[in-house]
Structure 1
Amino acid sequence: MTTRDPDRMRANLRQADAGILVAVLAQLTGDPGVVDRYARRISFVPDPPEHIGVTDPRTLDELVEEVAAALEAPCRPDALAPDDPALFARVAPLALGTEVDEEYLELLAEQGGFHPSQPVLPRTAKLPHDFTVVIVGAGIAGMAAALECAAAGIDYEIIDRNDEVGGTWYTTVYPGIGVDTPSAYYSLSRDINGDWTSYYPQGAEYQRYLQAVADRNGLREHIRFSTEVEALWWDDEHARWEVHTVGADGGRGVRHANVVIPAAGYLNRPRWPDLAGRETFGGVSIHSAEWQPDLSLTGKRVAVIGAGCTAVQIVDACVDEVEHLTVFQRQPHWVAPRKRSTDDVPEHRRWLNAHLPFHANWVRLKSFWGTADNNHPVILRDPEWAAGHLSISPANDRLLQICLEYIDRTFGADSELAKKVTPDFAPYGKRIIRDPGGYYAALTRDHVDVEAAEPAAVNEHGIVTADGRQIDLDVIIYATGYHLDFLSTVDIRGRDGVRLTDVWGDSPAAYRGGLVPGFPNMFISSAPNYSPGHGAGHNFGVEVMVHYVMECLQLMALRGASTIEVKPEAFDAYVRQIDDAMAQTVWCHTPTAHTYYRSGGGRIVTAFPFRLLDVWQSHRVPDEEDLELR
């Protein structure tokens, strides 16, 4: 375990999170006593949450020398693969900076990447040798499913309409596009990246990570690129799916699979607003989802229509290039300030992630914990509090006050601009936005105007405002989001030819693992109510779902079954459970908030209302009473 550069190691250790260093030391030495020696000598500064230090320089010297000595010592056989729950329970509170309930420990060990998701059902039976899985989509969800199939020895193929992996991170390249989940956490627990350059990296950096995952894990040889899945039809006679595809050359084909995992996201088709005269504009009209990299905004008169995350990132990125910028917001969002002066990850952290065992794991886990269930009360409604406040609870109000203070600090309390950007609903009624660093500041610039309304019309020269003014433009950017597509663009037919779109209508719903009655052996990865609404990231829901799928496939092997599907009564009960819990959340009590979380039928269909822990625990093993195996 010897490092080749002990002086550099010591220099970087002196700048590290001391709580994490104690955890690393305990793992390297197997000595839980280090926690007792250091716990009272480490101070916790909660904001930003990773700032932990020591009150006495001598303590830091002692800790650094102990870690350095442990690295120079002979490697223990189990040092790089610790599996000691008692030790983990001792070090986790110190490393994470808070108390940790025992019920979270197994979840945290998994989310920290200390070990893969642990199997629950016995692995005493195998699926048939010719059993195959087809995964639709090569984004993060599809690759997570592929990695688990590979680990289980299950034959699989990924089909993707693009010519590269990455999904939305490959296809969407507008200026300023970035990750709004902390980068330290937003990776797969089977393939942690410790070399992020930014706490919230640009889309291109995240795309490079996904490409590296495919390369490191040999996924490309299992991917059929430039091929679109047009239809999935269930063949009841042969108990398998027909996968109908069309290639880039227009050639069509049919392949078969025992199981299909649609892993395409639900935000794919750009939504253009219904604006009179939109097609008549003589300049450049472009949707953020269809950005042309060669489009220059330098010296141009530009309008951005939208005020969501995409619009915020574009405005932040282009404000210094344009001659004049007009931002049209249909509805303002709550915007949280950036907590650091810069998003650049310090060099010492990147170096330690690469050279100090377990460091990247703990950094990832601390990032997860900081945005996990401690944040759950923010979305839960307190009826007594909500009766007299805009916010829905004391926890929600704390966030509200942070955002209001940011507005007042940037624009001046009660100023016209402050009034324009202040929402009339509680935080989280729409997805909270993190300021990349210069969005609010951009709105104060002399060459930037904010229109607190949608455009009334578009003409050859530009946009007509709601009060009849003409704004001449060179470029109109539509940051107006996407259609909410839960597989509605694929012709999916289950038993007796029943179409999934007919079953779902305008209120899609799913049971655990993305199961829907009448659609055997289909697990929908980006299923309704599978996205965390209060913390973590998309990758959390993906990994929880994929674990459940692997347990279901093992249940099929144990029972010698060729099909598995959820019973209608179990499906209905599960959806009622979701809706009952959802009724107590912010999304059901902010009727003025326009949000893609809500389907055309009014049901909240994207987020889940439960704690992360509840979702994780409920997906550890299938409830056989809820399922029909044949």
Structure 2
Amino acid sequence: MPRSPSVLVIGAGFGGLGVGIELLRAGFGDVTILEQADEIGGVWRDNTYPNAACDVPSSLYSWSFAPNPGWGHRYSRQDEILDYLHRTAAEQGVLDHVRTGVRVTGAAWHEDEHRWHVRTASGESLTADVLVPALGQLSRPVVPDLPGIDRFAGPAFHSAQWRHDVDLTGARVAVVGTGASAIQFVPGIVDRVASMTVFQRSAPYVVPKPDRAYTRTHHRAFSGFPPSQTFGRRLTWVLSERLNAALTAGGAMKRLLELGWRAQLRRQVPDAALRGRLRPDYPLGCKRLLFSNDWYPALAQDHVEVVTEVVTEVEPAGVRATDGRLHEADVIIWGTGFAATEFLAPLTITGSGGVDLHEVWADGAHAHLGMTVPGFPNLFLVYGPNTNLGGSSIIGMMEAQAGYIRQAVRAVARGRTLAVRRSVAASFDAEMQERLAHSVWAQCNSWYRADGGRVSTNWPGMVAEYVARTARLEASDFEPAGVRDDDVEVLG
């Protein structure tokens, strides 16, 4: 190749590291991954709350090129996954390309140079031929802007910023939120606290989690006969694809999930009034489907109260709800999720002609194949708009994106600037929104949707479809400026 393009990746979680590994394996050595924290890991570095674990089986929630025969459980714990990330990144040689403690504040495309100029919080300026933001959708914790929130007398923290220095033993704890994090940390602390008040805005569907510890026999089989683990991964892939289909189109599996939820709720919550408060008022799948065997038993304990009134303000002594009642607390834990639809915030990204990306996305984020945006050449997002999944492993989506970005970098190496056509991006977005308008995710409000109602996070099909559609970077999708005839075959 004439040259090796310089590539700047922002974020060192699964997505950013995966792109780095893919490019290094393809022979592109000028890759730098910028990470604002002091170590790699993304969400698996940040979320250290009690019981933090994955809700996708370990065999599938891992890179296809790096199976791990040593998983301790079918559903891996946070520390296992973080260790896997560190170990695999070291084995693949990508750690030498990571700079930690570097917070990117913005980037601008310089048309005269055909390069990106990237700014950091320290005032450093970096340049690159290709920019790959890999910030993820669940990286910016959200704490509600409530009156009096700064006047609370005790510790208050978000689940993704867990205060391990706060002793919860014998404490009165208020938990605000009942999402994917809360259903893990609430059972993890419920037996330590004196009392717990759980504020529920809407009840989640919680189905049984078929978890188990792997035995010595499992580990011997996985290590000594790798096809046994490969078979498990493929079987999990098939089942997860059926789950994706069930959540979007219904069918027998969705009915089985509903039966499993009903049976678990009835079996684990004997109190009829509490069961009534824990029944969702929206279709299964419209909000994130949750997996747990101990959520309902935790809420059914005598020292736990589930409050469905909306929180209106925080006072020094506790939390007040719409019914006027003050719920006294020593500690508040915010299980209020993340700013999933605010893609790339708070970075300022300006493209051709100085256009601000967030202005382009004023009505909701959108990108061709979730990666490229018209007017922003040589910019490729990882885990961008409409690439999240209702079921299955996001790792499969991000591996497909890494392969697509590898093809893009190869094209840049041949002297091409890649600017996606507006007509191509508009056609893709229209297809996504038409399909999503008929999906279960359009039937309620959730973190999948932006304020205007646009579903900007989720992919409307199965992973296999996305893998197929990103397998080849099509030359015709991009503006023709600077293209030679012989570049077409290179893009594949």
Question: TM-score normalised by the shorter chain: which range applies?
Answer: over 0.9
Q: Secondary structure at the match of 2:103?
A: strand
SS in 2 for 1:232: strand
**Correspondence for 2:486:** none
C-alpha contact (below 8 Å) 2:157/2:333 kept by paired residues? yes
How far, CA to CA, are the matches of 2:20 and 2:248 in structure 1? 35
Residue 313 of structure 2 corresponds to residue 457 of structure 1: yes
Distance 2:208 2:226 in 1: 33
Q: Which residue of 2 aligns with 1:406?
A: 264
What amino acid is the match of 1:461? A
Shift of 1:401: 2.2
Contact 1:165–1:214 (CA under 8 A) maintained in structure 2: no
Q: Give yes or no for the alignment of 1:397 onto 2:255.
A: yes
Deviations 1:176-195 (A, max 9, x none): 21111111110111212121
Are 1:610 and 2:461 counterparts? Answer: yes
Structure 2 CA distance for aligned equivalents of residues 604 and 511 of structure 1: 15
1:423 aligned residue: 280
Deviation, 1:410, is: 1.6
CA distance in 1 between counterparts of 2:449 and 2:356 reads 22
| Residue of structure 2 in register with 1:562 after alignment | 416
List per-residue Cα deviations over 1:213-234 (Å, max 9, x = no partner). Answer: 1211121211111001111111
- Taking the aligned partners of 1:562 and 1:239, their CA distance within structure 2 comes to 10
Cα distance in 1 for partners of 2:6, 2:376 equals: 17
2:43 corresponds in structure 1 to 168
- SS at the partner of 1:483? coil
* CA distance 1:519–1:192, shift in 2 (3 Å): same
CA distance in 2, matches of 1:448, 1:300: 12
Q: Secondary structure at 1:573's aligned position in 2?
A: helix
1:574 has 2:448 as partner:
no
- State the 1:555 CA deviation: 3.9
- 1:160, 1:274 → 2: CA distance? 28
**Counterpart Cα distance in 2 of 1:171 and 1:393:** 37
Whether the aligned pair in 1 keeps the contact of 2:244 and 2:392 (CA below 8 Å) is no
Instruction: Report whether the alignment pairs 1:269 with 2:140.
Output: yes
SS at match of 2:479: strand
Q: CA deviation at 1:393?
A: 5.3
Higher relative contact order (CA closer than 8 Å, sequence separation 6+): 2
CA distance in 2, matches of 1:130, 1:396: 48
Tell which structure's C-alpha radius of gyration is larger. 1
2:209 aligns with 338
2:246 aligned to 373, 378, 382, which one?
378
Could you tell me the percent identity over the aligned residues?
Answer: 31
Q: Is contact 1:270-1:482 (8 Å) kept? A: yes
Comparing 538-547 with 277-286, greater Cα deviation is found at: 277-286
Q: Is the Cα contact below 8 Å between 1:242 and 1:255 reproduced in 2?
A: yes
Structure-1 separation of matches of 2:117 and 2:104: 10
Q: Which amino acid aligns with 1:406?
A: Q
- The Cα of 1:581 is off from its aligned counterpart by 1.3
- Is 2:56 the counterpart of 1:181? yes
Q: Counterpart amino acid of 2:452?
A: G
Q: Once the 2 structures are TM-superposed, how far is the Cα of residue 471 of structure 1 from its aligned partner?
A: 2.2
TM-score when normalising by structure 2: 0.94
Extract structure 1 runs of 4+ deviating beyond 6 A.
none
| Separation (CA, whole Å) in 1 of partners of 2:165 and 2:345 | 32
Q: Aligned partner of 2:467: which letter?
A: W
1:132-171 → structure 2 map (5 Å cutoff): 132-154=6-28, 155-171=30-46
Is 1:530–1:606's contact at 8 Å kept on the other side of the alignment?
yes
Counterpart CA distance in 2 for 1:219 and 1:602 is: 39
Instruction: Give how far 1:513 is off.
Output: 5.6
Aligned-partner Cα distance in 1 for 2:139–2:65:
26
1:353 aligns with one of 222, 228, 231: 222
* Preserved contact between residue 331 and residue 453 of structure 1 (Cα < 8 Å): no
Q: Is the Cα–Cα contact under 8 Å of residues 132 and 156 in structure 1 kept in the other structure?
A: yes
Instruction: Give yes or no for the alignment of 1:621 onto 2:475.
Output: no
Per the alignment, in what secondary structure is the counterpart of residue 62 of structure 2? Answer: coil
User: Residues of 2 paired with 1:295 and 1:347: CA distance?
Assistant: 36
Contact kept in structure 2, 1:239 and 1:562, CA below 8 Å: no
Change (3 A) 1:453 1:133: same
CA distance in 1, matches of 2:62, 2:22: 15
* 1:195-594 correspondence runs (5 A): 195-246=70-121, 251-340=122-211, 343-372=212-241, 374-381=242-249, 395-412=253-270, 415-435=272-292, 437-484=293-340, 485-512=342-369, 514-533=371-390, 535-557=391-413, 560-588=414-442, 590-591=443-444, 594=445
Corresponding residue of 2:446? 595
Equivalent residue for 1:17?
none
Q: Distance in 1 between matches of 2:369 and 2:321?
A: 47
Number of residue pairs matched? 479
Are the aligned partners of 1:400 and 1:426 in contact in 2 as well (CA < 8 Å)? Answer: no
Cα deviations by residue, 1:313-372 (Å, 9 ceiling, x for unpaired): 1111001111111111011100001235xx312221122112223232222222222212
> In 2, are the aligned partners of 1:166 and 1:211 still within 8 Å (CA)?
yes
**Aligned partners of 1:338 and 1:132: how far apart in 2?**
44
1:576 Cα offset (Å)? 0.7
State the Cα RMSD in Å. Answer: 1.7
Tell me the distance in 1 between the aligned counterparts of 2:363 and 2:160.
24
TM-score, normalised to structure 1, is 0.74
- Distance in 2, Cα, partners of 1:347 & 1:370: 25
Cα distance in 2 for residues equivalent to 1:376 and 1:439: 23
Aligned AA (2:351): G
Q: Give distance in 1, aligned partners of 2:348 and 2:320.
A: 40
Deviation string 1:447-478 (CA, Å, 9 cap, x unpaired) is: 11111222233212112233222322111111
Deviation by residue 1:576-625 (Cα, 9 ceiling, x = unmatched): 1111111221011x23xx31100122111111001222111111112222
- Rounded to whole Å, the distance in 1 between the matches of 2:255 and 2:88 is 40
Determine the C-alpha separation between the residues in 1 that align with 2:95 and 2:142: 31
Distance 2:263 2:227 in 1: 38
List per-residue Cα deviations over 1:228-268 (Å, max 9, x = no partner).
Answer: 1111111111111112123xxxx321121111111111222
Q: Tell me the amino acid that sits aligned with residue 310 of structure 2.
A: E
The correspondence of residues 15-30 of structure 1 with structure 2, limited to 5 A, is none
User: In structure 2, what is the Cα distance between the partners aligned to 1:427 and 1:173?
Assistant: 28
**C-alpha displacement of 1:556:** 4.3
**Counterpart of 2:294 in structure 1: which amino acid?**
G
Task: Note closer, same or farther for the CA distance 1:193–1:357 as it changes in structure 2 (3 Å cut).
Answer: closer
Deviation at 1:376, TM superposition (A): 3.5
